């Protein structure tokens, strides 16, 4: 067995943390690099499309500086172009974004097609560059996650390791987008991987760090938003006001999720190019009076944080972005929603801070403080990721004093969404409309985190169906536990080796007994004695499917599979055993071991006790 094969087997279990950390670091470099290229592509496209006399170093301001006719034309024809390209693609290739990542992770073991990522890169970049009301973080997560999936497939890693690499790519993408490495880690664990275990944490942390370092090297050390250093809560009398921010944020998030779903359902039978064109034209019409709704809008967010926007502008920008993003997301434009939720949250917080400062100036914090709280509140409510939003809040502000009001507002908003309006997370809702559900069964989570390579029994031999006595003795000389029975190049059954050994012992006893009888009997028994000696000499063929033994039907499982995949296949086929294989370069099966349902059950119990991730039922 080669070194690479031994490493693959090691990655199937729990004891490969150091190796997984190195691979996670490589994944972070790939994911961070893909996100940097995506950002450069979108920003350079905006500059190229802007009129010569309006090009600036701050590409986000180019949309506001364009004439209303140019804005309308850009979004409309941009939507049409994106739709025409999407129309030419196969339906499965059009699936992009975070919901696609979650689908592939839950239903396809993290196997993310590269062609979908290529479509996401170019079409998503064109969508953003044409000023549509979408974010770049969703495409970034798709690109980063695909980087991890691609790396896992190239190295032919077990699927449990590939799942971690998908999380690594997601963390690096968030880290690269906002320059917030810790928030990237928590986001990946809370939204993508959906578990907190050391085996996942370490490689995801390293990947996130790699993404942040690459981003800082290219774009500088500043985070995505320019947050003042003097933000602080002025008085505990503001806490009821933060309660109101949470209630309004949760209500707005619920309306956003519900209306986006309604738009998606109403337009389900439309042609793709019709949907994207309508979305682009709608954004353009809104942008005639409210140009801030176009693009990512981080310049407007920074304006709200620094209290540079009038109350009227804040209200109009909030309303316009709300409607524009619902239309874009509902009509399936390939972009993200994280950026728009941050935008809307900043506008909501700015409005609340502005009003609060007018009525209670002595107890009101700086308006930018409310904008920051609103950003993370709305993001957490839409995505139902409170911990990731809270960590992002801390990293963006570098101010622990903001945690108390932030926690309060975030929790209230999430309660409003889930308990009052009964809405699920945005991406979970998208998947539900397609008949897909995110699997959160705790038993499945444990099983999918372990590969068959880390559990299978390798002490086995492969034997043809018909063998001589001598051949079977040679077969058992190394004391295997299992015997795989092969006929016409197919594995047809599994036998416990001890049953075969017991049968051979019985034959030996019978031969010895016959010899003893022969010495005491008449010469007429000589022919029977010769037959016994012939069997002992190894000339008679023994059929392994006919001898008394406990045989089991079995299925085949790829070496890359997880215990979850194996268990599900056993349940579907009503079979309790499987042999583990990997195809060689010449498409031949190389058998690595045997796994049974009992082994899976024992491993689950061990993992449950060892990791402490599950409570005793």
Q: How high is the pLDDT of residue 62?
A: 66
At 491, which helix (H) or strand (E)?
strand 490-496
Using CA atoms, how far apart are residues 526 and 128, in angstroms rounded to an integer? 93
Over range 461-487, report the average pLDDT: 93
- For residue 590, the SS3 value is strand
Q: Taken in order 28, 30, 35, 40, is the CA torsion positive or negative?
A: positive
Residue carrying structure tokens 């085996």: 199
| Mean pLDDT for the chain overall | 88
The pLDDT-based confidence of 442 (bands split at 50, 70, 90) is confident
Residue carrying structure tokens 């972005």: 321
Are 3-219 and 236-442 equal in CATH topology? Answer: yes
Instruction: Please state which of the four CATH numbers 1.10.3080.10, 2.40.10.340, 1.10.10.10, 3.40.309.10 is assigned to the domain occupying 236-442.
Output: 1.10.3080.10
pLDDT digits (tens, 9 = 90+) for 277-306: 999 999 999 999 999 999 999 999 999 999
pLDDT greater than 50 at residue 55 = no
Over range 322-350, report the average pLDDT: 96
The CATH number of the domain covering residues in 452-611:
3.10.580.10
Q: How high is the pLDDT of residue 428?
A: 94
Using CA atoms, how far apart are residues 525 and 511, in angstroms rounded to an integer? 13
Question: Are the beta carbons of 197 and 449 closer than 8 angstroms?
Answer: yes
Question: Are the beta carbons of 238 and 365 closer than 8 angstroms?
Answer: yes
- For residue 379, the SS3 value is helix
Count of CA atoms in the C-beta half-sphere (13 A) of 179? 17
Over range 570-584, report the average pLDDT: 92
Using CA atoms, how far apart are residues 485 and 494, in angstroms rounded to an integer? 6
Using CA atoms, how far apart are residues 159 and 152, in angstroms rounded to an integer? 8
Q: How many other CB atoms are there within 10 angstroms of residue 320's CB atom? A: 22
pLDDT greater than 80 at residue 6 = no
Using CA atoms, how far apart are residues 395 and 392, in angstroms rounded to an integer? 5
At 372, list the tokens: 């920051």
Q: How high is the pLDDT of residue 1?
A: 59
> Of 119-133, 160-174, 593-607, which range is least confident?
593-607
pLDDT greater than 60 at residue 616 = no
pLDDT greater than 50 at residue 615 = no
Using CA atoms, how far apart are residues 105 and 108, in angstroms rounded to an integer? 6
pLDDT digits (tens, 9 = 90+) for 353-396: 999 877 777 767 888 899 999 999 999 999 999 999 999 989 98
> Of 32-41, 109-118, 186-195, 257-266, which range is least confident?
186-195
Q: How high is the pLDDT of residue 12?
A: 63
Q: How high is the pLDDT of residue 529?
A: 53
Q: Which residues contact 556 (CB under 8 A, 6 or more apart)?
A: 491, 578, 579, 581, 589
Q: How high is the pLDDT of residue 507?
A: 84
| Percent of the residues in the chain that have a pLDDT greater than 70, as a whole number | 89
Give me the DSSP letters along 111-159.
Answer: ---HHHHHHHHHHHHHHHHTT-S-BSHHHHHHHHHHHHHHHHHHTT--H
- Domain extents for the chain? 3-219, 236-442, 452-611
The answer for 337, left when phi > 0, alpha when psi is -120 to 50, beta otherwise, is alpha
Q: Per CATH, is 3-219 categorized as 1.10.3080.10?
A: yes
pTM above 0.75, yes or no: yes
């Amino acid at each position: 067995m080669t070194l690479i094969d031994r490493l693959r087997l090691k990655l199937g279990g729990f004891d490969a943390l150091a190796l997984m950390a190195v691979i996670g670091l490589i994944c972070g470099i790939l994911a961070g690099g893909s996100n940097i290229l995506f950002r450069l592509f979108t920003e350079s496209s905006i500059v190229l499309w802007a009129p010569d006399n309006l090009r600036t170093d701050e590409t986000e301001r180019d949309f506001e500086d364009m004439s209303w006719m140019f804005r309308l034309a850009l979004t409309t024809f941009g939507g049409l172009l994106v739709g025409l390209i999407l129309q030419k693609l196969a339906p499965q290739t059009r699936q992009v974004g975070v919901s696609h990542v979650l689908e592939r992770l839950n239903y396809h073991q993290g196997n993310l097609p590269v062609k979908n990522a290529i479509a996401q890169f170019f079409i998503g970049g064109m969508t953003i560059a044409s000023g549509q009301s979408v974010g770049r973080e969703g495409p970034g997560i798709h690109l980063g996650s695909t980087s991890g999936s691609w790396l896992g497939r190239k190295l032919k890693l077990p699927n449990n390791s590939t799942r971690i690499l998908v999380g690594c790519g997601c963390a690096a993408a968030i880290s690269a987008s906002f320059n917030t490495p810790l928030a990237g880690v928590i986001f990946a664990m809370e939204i993508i991987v959906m578990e907190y275990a050391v085996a996942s944490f370490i490689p995801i942390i390293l990947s996130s760090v790699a993404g942040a370092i690459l981003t800082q090297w290219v774009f500088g050390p500043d985070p995505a938003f320019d947050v003042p250093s003097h933000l602080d809560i002025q008085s505990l009398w503001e806490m009821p006001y933060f309660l109101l921010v949470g209630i309004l944020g949760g209500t707005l998030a619920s309306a956003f999720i519900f209306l986006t779903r309604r738009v998606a359902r109403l337009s389900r039978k439309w042609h793709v190019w019709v949907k994207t064109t309508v979305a682009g034209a709608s954004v353009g019409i809104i942008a005639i009076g409210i140009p801030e709704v176009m693009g990512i809008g981080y310049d407007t967010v920074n304006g709200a944080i620094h209290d540079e926007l009038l109350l009227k502008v804040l209200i109009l920008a909030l309303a316009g972005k709300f409607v524009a993003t619902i239309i874009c997301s509902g009509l399936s434009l390939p972009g993200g929603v994280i950026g728009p939720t941050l935008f809307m949250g900043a506008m909501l917080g700015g409005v609340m801070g502005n009003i609060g400062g007018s009525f209670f100036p002595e107890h009101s914090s700086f308006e930018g403080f409310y904008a920051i709280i609103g950003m993370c509140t709305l993001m957490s409510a839409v995505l139902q990721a409170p911990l990731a939003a809270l960590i992002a809040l801390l990293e963006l502000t570098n101010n622990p004093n903001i945690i108390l009001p932030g926690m309060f507002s975030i929790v209230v908003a999430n309660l409003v969404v889930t308990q009052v309006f009964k809405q699920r997370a945005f991406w979970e809702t998208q998947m539900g409309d397609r008949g897909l559900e995110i699997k959160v069964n705790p038993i499945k989570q444990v099983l999918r985190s372990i590969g068959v390579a880390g559990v299978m029994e390798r002490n086995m031999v492969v034997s043809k169906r018909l063998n001589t006595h001598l051949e079977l003795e040679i077969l058992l000389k190394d004391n295997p536990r299992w015997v795989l029975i092969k006929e016409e190049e197919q594995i047809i059954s599994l036998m416990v080796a001890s049953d075969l050994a017991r049968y051979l012992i019985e034959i030996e006893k019978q031969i010895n007994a016959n010899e003893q009888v022969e010495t005491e009997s008449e010469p007429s028994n000589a022919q029977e004695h010769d037959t016994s000696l012939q069997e002992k000499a190894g000339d008679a063929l023994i059929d392994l499917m006919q001898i008394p033994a406990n045989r089991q039907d079995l299925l085949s499982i790829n070496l890359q599979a997880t215990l979850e995949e194996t268990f599900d296949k056993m349940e579907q086929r009503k079979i309790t055993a499987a042999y583990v294989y990997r195809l060689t370069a010449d498409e031949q099966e190389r058998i690595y071991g045997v796994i049974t349902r009992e082994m899976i059950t024992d491993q689950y119990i061990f993992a449950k006790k060892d990791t402490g991730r599950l409570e005793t039922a």
